Amino acid sequence: MDQGQTLARLLDSYATDPRKRAVAAAVGAIAEASIEISELIGQGALAGITGAAHGASNADGDVQKDLDVRAEAAIVAALKNVPYAALASEEAEALLMGDPQAPISIAYDPLDGSSNIDTNMTVGTIFSIIPNEPGVAPFTAPGSCQLAAGFVVYGPQTSFVLTLGDGVDIFTLDRKDHVYRLIREKVKVAGDTAEYAINASNHRHWEQPVRDFVDECLAGADGPRAKNFNMRWIGSLVAEAYRILTRGGVFLYPADSRPGYGDGRLRLLYETHPMAFVMEQAGGAASTGRERVLDLSAAATSTHQRSPLIMGSSDKVNRIVELHLDPSAASRTAPLFGRRGLFRT
Ligand SMILES: O=P(O)(O)OC[C@H]1O[C@](O)(COP(=O)(O)O)[C@@H](O)[C@@H]1O
Ligand SMILES: [Mg+2]
Ligand SMILES: [Mg+2]
Domains of the chain: which residue ranges? Answer: 7-184, 195-340
Q: Is the pLDDT of residue 341 over 70?
A: no
Q: How far is the CA of 102 from the centre of ligand 3 (A)?
A: 26
Mean pLDDT within 223-236: 94
> How much is the pLDDT for 334?
52
pLDDT (tens digit per residue) in 276-307: 999 999 999 999 999 999 999 998 778 999 99
Q: Are 238 and 244 in contact (CB under 8 A)?
A: no
Q: How many angstroms separate the Cα of 185 from the Cα of each of 182, 265, 282?
A: 7, 31, 10
Which protein residues have a CB closer than 5 Å to ligand 3 (ion)?
Answer: 90, 109, 111-112
Closest CA to 281 of 187, 198, 344: 187
Binding-site residues, ligand 1, Cβ < 6 A: 62, 90, 109, 112-115, 199, 235-237, 253, 265
CA of 272 to the centre of ligand 3 (A): 13
Q: Do 279 and 285 meet the contact criterion of CB atoms below 8 Å apart?
A: yes
- Average pLDDT of the chain is 93
What percent of the chain is predicted at pLDDT more than 70? 94
Residue of the nearest CA to atom 9 in ligand 1?
A: 113
d(CA 115, CA 267) in angstroms, rounded, equals: 16
Position 106 confidence tier, pLDDT thresholds 50, 70, 90: very high
CA of 164 to the centre of ligand 3 (A): 23
Of all protein residues, whose CA lies closest to atom 20 belonging to ligand 1?
237
Measured distance CA(121)–CA(113) in Å, rounded: 9
Q: Output the CA torsion sign for 91, 92, 93, 94.
A: negative
pLDDT band of residue 339 (cuts 50, 70, 90) is very low
CA-109 nearest atom, ligand 1: 15
Model-level ipTM above the cut of 0.85? yes
Pick the ligand that lies closest to the CA of residue 123: 1
d(C-alpha 218, C-alpha 40), whole Å? 40
Q: What pLDDT sits at residue 333?
A: 60
Atom of ligand 1 nearest to the CA of 239: 18
From CA 137, how far away is CA 147, in angstroms rounded? 17
Protein residue closest via CA to atom 5 of ligand 1: 235
Report the separation in Å between the CA atom of 68 and the middle of ligand 3, taken as the mean of its atom positions: 7
Lowest mean pLDDT among 61-70, 84-93, 251-260, 294-303: 61-70
| pLDDT reported for residue 274 | 98
Q: Please report, in range form, the residues annotated as the binding site.
A: 90, 109, 111-115, 199, 271
Report the alpha-carbon distance of residue 48 to residue 111 in Å, rounded: 16
**Confidence at residue 332, expressed as pLDDT on a 0 to 100 scale:** 67
- Which is the closest atom of ligand 1 to the Cα of 62? 16
What percentage of the chain has pLDDT greater than the value 90?
Answer: 82
Encode burial over 135-157: b for 16+ CB neighbours within 10 A, e otherwise. Answer: eeebbbbebeebbbbbbbbbbee
pLDDT tens figures, 231-263: 999 999 999 999 999 999 999 999 999 999 999
Q: Which of 112, 205, 251 should be mutated for ligand 1, with most atoms under 8 A from CB? A: 112
The ligand placed nearest to the CA atom of residue 237 is 1
Q: With a cut of 50, say whether residue 345 has pLDDT above it.
A: no
Tell me which architecture the domain covering 7-184 has in CATH: 2-Layer Sandwich (3.30)
Contacts of residue 176, defined as CB under 8 A and 6 or more positions apart, other chains included, come to: none
Q: Do you know the residue count of the chain?
A: 345
Do residues 103 and 83 lie in contact, with contact meaning Cβ atoms separated by under 8 Å?
A: yes
Helix-strand-coil percent breakdown of the chain, rounded to 5? 40, 25, 40
What are the pLDDT digits (tens) for 130-146?
999 989 999 999 999 99
What is the β-pairing status of strands 123-131 and 309-312? unpaired
DSSP state of 62: P
CATH class of the structural domain 195-340:
alpha beta
Question: Among 49-63, 261-275, 318-332, where is mean pLDDT lowest?
Answer: 49-63
Q: What is the distance in A from the centroid of ligand 3 to the CA of 52? A: 15
Q: Residues 74-92, buried b or exposed e (16+ Cβ, 10 A)?
A: bbbebbeebbbbbbbbbbb
CB under 5 Å of ion ligand 2: residues: 109, 112
| CA quadruple 23, 29, 33, 36: dihedral sign | positive
Dihedral of alpha carbons 19, 21, 23, 26, sign: negative
For residue 287, report the distance from its CA to the centre of ligand 3, in Å.
Answer: 21
